[in-house]
Every structure is written in structure tokens, then in C-alpha cells.
Structure 1
């Protein structure tokens, strides 16, 4: 979830840096009528001051009859990318719910089945998926079409831009549903621990990595670590006793052997707690991560 949060924040930063362009240079972009009316005026300077200072937009000095809409295409592409990452979050959380890693708190806007009273449907995340897909369908076509104008006289952009509010509205609905959905979740650590305990073969990676490191330092007996772990783990389940027996038989240095034999699927998390705490402290600016259990 921290990875998804980091990805979403990057896209929000891109959206926040987006320029909003404007023009004031006449029907063809040449100041022709302006010069005919007041030839002594510095029209580009007046245009820049009005667009930038009065309107607060980024001045576009070179346009045709219309402002070119390139900035809109850039913005909608960024919002669509944000939506796709948000869609990824919704589908992942939906899957975690179905696997039992998260439980939905009844009464938090949950919806049950019409025929199965025991069910609590993940309606918030499903609703978000649908709204994000509609939003992106509109944003994609807006980004693709607004950058073209047939011979500078094409008015299709006028009809297209009437859908901007709808596109962004569906994205906001999805955000609201995901926020409400996340607020109604409880973690189920017992189910997570149960699944981890059923998958001791995941420790094949750290064991072979340790063997490779020892082999690179000239320790004897560390040949073919991948093949040896593949023979032990591929296509079948193994338990703690079987894995520990394998580690004990590798001829590892005593300290390494004890470290690997004492490893469990639950403890094989690398720097994940540190990475999340560091992210919360430096990027999110939340409470002191040292006071939180991750």
C-alpha cells in the first residue's frame, strides 16, 4: 500500500505542476486587428501582462485561432495515469478482502447480497473501479482529440470540452468511494500469518542469495544454489522442519546457518518496516513513525 501511495503522490505532484495556458492575440494569433486599431501599442507585452498577471495563466505567445489545448492533453493524461494507479489500488484491496487479509466493518456503508445474508460486498471498491474506467475513457479521448484542429477552424473541441466535468467527476467519485472503503477496513493479521506459515518455500530466495554471497567469497560447497533450491521447493509445499534440515546440511558457516535456520516467512520482510516508516516521516509528514507498529 505504501508503494501505491508513493506512486499516487508522484502523479499528484505532476498534476500540481501543470501549466494552464491562455492567449490574447486575436482571431488568427497575429494581433492583426489589434495593430489595425492601435498600431503604436506593444501588443505582445499587453497580452502577456493580461494573461499572466490578470488571469493568472501561463501566456502562450504562439497560437492559431484557438489556444492549442496541448496543456489540456498533458493534464488529462496525468489524471488518467493517476486514475489507473488508483484502479490498481482498488483491485488489489478487493483481492486482499477476498483472500481474508482485510475484513469490512459492517455498518460502514457496506452492501450485502440479495440472497446470501452472510456476505458483505466490497461495493466501494467495485464502484470506484467502474467510475475510474468511465473517467479514463473520457480523459483518453479528450487527450487524443484536443491536440488537433482541422485547418485551424475545427469546432469539435467545443463539444469535446463539454465532457471535461464528467470525466473529472467520475474520478472524484472513485476517490470518495476508495477513501470510504479504506476507512471501513480492518486488517486480519491471523489470516496473513496463516498464509505465510503455509508457504515456507518463499525462503528459497534468501537461502540461495546467501549461498551465492558465500561462494563469491570463496567458501567451499556453495555451488549451484539455484538448482539445489529449485529441487527442494519447485512445485511443492515444504514446512519449517524440512527447510531447516536443508539449511543444516549445506555446510554453511555457523553464524550464517543459525541466521538462515531461524528465518521464517513472517520475518523475511527485508527493510520493509524501515522503508514505510521513512516514507511516512519524509513524504507524508505523519506522526512519529517510531510510535507506530508496522
Structure 2
């Protein structure tokens, strides 16, 4: 077995971003080179099981192959590949070497390499989604829900184009990401369940299996049933690439959601904003030269990881193109898909750890809101004037905002001083006037919407 100091690894996923033992072992179970070979061997075993059920070989052959793949190591397959220069032929040779002369012919019987490769990838990515990706995302979703409900009444100035807008609550702002992440969880689940396999042979026309089965599609279904998969509706030497493309797209767009959330939280930690903060350990350093700094490193790291892995989606789109029944132009690029999944999971786990200790400065949120609270009433004022029949309410209020900025008077004071607007002011009821004097109440149904969003996704995701 090759042993290597992790700090001599080339990929930062191995020597930097997977240093947590529990995370690395979780990722490795599905996404390592060893795991890939293990899943490919399981496809070979499923093939032999289906052959035995059809009476092509004995069930003793199944036992032999099952024992052989239990003993199989990635190292021996790689050593064999040095001679064969072909990964699946190397796998087959290693299995055949461990079984009897009678069993050897049925290993890889009637199949081509990508019956094994594409089917194995579909199984491992499907299982990775069900057993690792989705539970991890649901853990993050649960934390975001808790924050949203906890902060549902916390007043926060809304921001559009980087400028103060009308108020929301911080819980409402977080509920946006509860909804977006929820939709991505569903997309990952559905696209993962749709991943397909194949047992159709070299060009997809069942040429070899048709020699032995009147209905080779039924045999294909029997093999794939052993693996919990269904067949692609059509295949060439490869499974239709759109199934995998859709699955990875769901992951990448999910990555975009957590990157957007992280970017929002990063900006809310700006010195002049200071509405949230990351937890800092007692020995943690923010800057090599400025001891007072406390940088938003976790949120920045997540955005940076997204920048690295998001463009890889373009490679998946390019891998949709395969000439005629198949070319080899995806043979190298497809090997890097596990890195994308690990990068995503690493960032989700980082966000889980960070959000568990999210610090919300409610006083600073209120202080920032107060900077613009008097101008915020411009929107309800203009809408109320329009509702009372003012012919150009927006322009009238726009001019009032300019005057307010010049004189320091509030909009509600100015409207009462303007003879042409006084009649409209008198028509306002007490509730409307109160809204103009207490802008913090102008939050629409932010609180109720937050509760509704969380309740909806709790039901849909059963968390």
C-alpha cells in the first residue's frame, strides 16, 4: 500500500479542506479512487447474479465473484493497469485471477467498459446523495430555519443595489435562503434518483447480450435492479449524459445559494455595518500585521470555493458531446467530478459550523435602520397620497425627500407644512399616520412570511 504524507498531496482538498477525519472518511466512502473501484466491482457482481438467475452460470460462480471482490484492492487494480493500459480490463483481470477456471468466463460477460463505469458512477453518486449530501444539506437547512425564527422580529433595514431600502427583519432575510436551499435540496434529491445505468454493450444495441437473451432489455433491468437503478431509456456505449449533467447542475446551483448567503453575511460584517459576526476562537488571528482584525474568513472561503468549482459545470456541459456512439473526450474530465462534490460538501460543512455560532448584533441593526428611518416613509407616503387621488404623488414625495435632506426636517413634518398637501394629510386615518411616525412598523408581513416559509420547508423536508 502506498503511504504518503498528506502535505505532499497536490490537491488542497486532500491536505487542507478535508483534514477533519470524520469528513474525509465520509467523502472517501463514495468519492475516492478506492470507492470508484469498489462500486465498479459491485456492478460486475450484479451482472453475475443476474446471469445466475437466468441459468447462464451457477450460483457457485456468484459466491466466487463475491469473495473475489471482497479481497480486491485498488492497489492491485492499478498495478494491473500498468500492463493493460485499460482500467476496466485491469479490474476484470484481477477478479478473474481470484476465481476458478469455471467462473472466469462470466466475469464481464457480454458487457463493455462503460456498462461498468457509467453504471457504477450512477450508483455511487446516487448513494452519496441519499446518504451524505442530502443529510448534510438538511442539517444546514435546520440551522438556517432556527436562525430565521429566532430573528423573525429583529428589525433590519432592507438593501437594494447596496442602498438602504424599506425595512425587513433579519429572520425574513434568512428565510430567503431557507426557501432557496430547500428548492435545491429537492432538485438534488430528484436528479439523484433519476441517475441511470446500462447493460447494452459496445454501441448500445445489445449486440452481445442478444446472443443469449430473447429480450436483452429484461436482462439489463435484472442487473440494474440488483444495484437499485433503472436503465437509461436509450444508450450508446454510454448512458445519456443529461442525467448526470442535471445532477451536477443541481449541486452547483446549490453551491451558488450558499455562496450568495455567505456573501451577504460577509458584507454584514463590514466595519461600517457590523450587523453579524463570526465566532472567533481565543487564539484565532485575523491579520498577520493588524492584531485588531477579525476577518469573515469562513464566509469568504465558501465564496472562494464556489468560484473554483462553479466553472467546472461548463465541463459537464461539454461532456454532453460525444461523437457517434462514444468518444474518449470525457475520460479524464469525468474523473474530477468527485472533487466538485467534495468542494461543495466541504463548504456546506463549514457553513454549518459557522452558522451554529452566528452572532447577531441587534443593536447595530437597529442603529443602521435608524440612519434612514425618516426617509423610509417616502414609499408608504407616496402610495397613501396616490390612494387619496394625488395626481403625481411620486414626484411630490421625491421633492419632499430633497427638501428633507436640505433642511433636516422629517417628511411627516414637511407634508403638514405644505398647503397643497395638508388636505391629504387630514384624510389619513390614525393607523396610517402612525405608520408614518413609526417606520419600524412598515415591515409588511415579514414576520408572518418568515414563519410561513419555515413551516412550509419543515413539512416538505420533514425536518
TM-score tier by shorter-chain length is: 0.7 to 0.9
Residue 215 (structure 2) aligned to one of 24, 42, 51: 42
Residues 202, 278 of structure 1: alpha-carbon distance in 2 compared, 3 angstrom cutoff:
same
Are the aligned partners of 1:108 and 1:184 in contact in 2 as well (CA < 8 Å)?
Answer: no
After TM superposition, give the deviation of residue 236 of structure 1 in Å: 6.7
1:291: which partner in 2?
A: none
Mapped contact 1:113–1:119 kept (Cα < 8 A): yes
What are the equivalent positions in structure 2 for 1:83-102 lying under 5 Å apart?
83-98=255-270, 99-102=273-276
Q: What SS is found at the alignment partner of 2:298?
A: helix
Moved more, 184-193 or 238-247: 238-247
Structure 2 gaps, min length 5: 1-173, 417-421
**Which residue of the partner structure matches residue 218 of structure 1?**
none
The alignment status of 1:227 with 2:398, answered yes or no, reads no
**Aligned counterparts, 1:3-152, within 5 A:** 3-18=176-191, 19-36=194-211, 38=212, 41-51=214-224, 53-98=225-270, 99-107=273-281, 110-141=284-315, 143-152=316-325
Bigger CA drift: 155-164 or 236-245?
236-245
Q: Does the CA-based 8 Å contact 2:377-2:436 persist in structure 1?
A: no
With over 3 angstroms needed to count, the CA separation of the structure-2 counterparts of 1:35 and 1:106, relative to structure 1, is closer
Q: Which residue of 2 aligns with 1:255?
A: 429
**What's the Cα RMSD here?**
2.3
| Equivalent residues, number | 274
Structure whose alpha-carbon radius of gyration is higher? 2
Query: Aligned in 2, Cα 1:180/1:71: closer, same or farther, shift over 3 Å?
Result: same
Deviation (angstroms), 1:124: 0.5
Tell me the distance in 2 between the aligned counterparts of 1:154 and 1:32.
19
Helix, strand or coil: the match of 2:443?
A: coil
Distance 1:42 1:239, change over 3 A: farther
Q: Which residue of 2 aligns with 1:167?
A: 340
> What whole-Å deviation, never above 9, does each CA across 1:140-195 have from its counterpart, x for those lacking one?
31x21221112323112221111011111111111122222222321111111111
d(CA) in 2 for partners of 1:212, 1:69:
55
CA distance in 2, matches of 1:184, 1:109: 16
What TM-score does the superposition give when structure 1 sets the normalisation length?
Answer: 0.85
Shift of 1:235: 9.4
Determine the C-alpha separation between the residues in 1 that align with 2:343 and 2:264: 20
Deviates more, 1:199-208 or 1:149-158: 149-158
Q: CA deviation at 1:137?
A: 2.1
Change (3 A) 1:13 1:190: same
Q: Is the 8 A contact 2:196 2:243 kept in 1?
A: yes
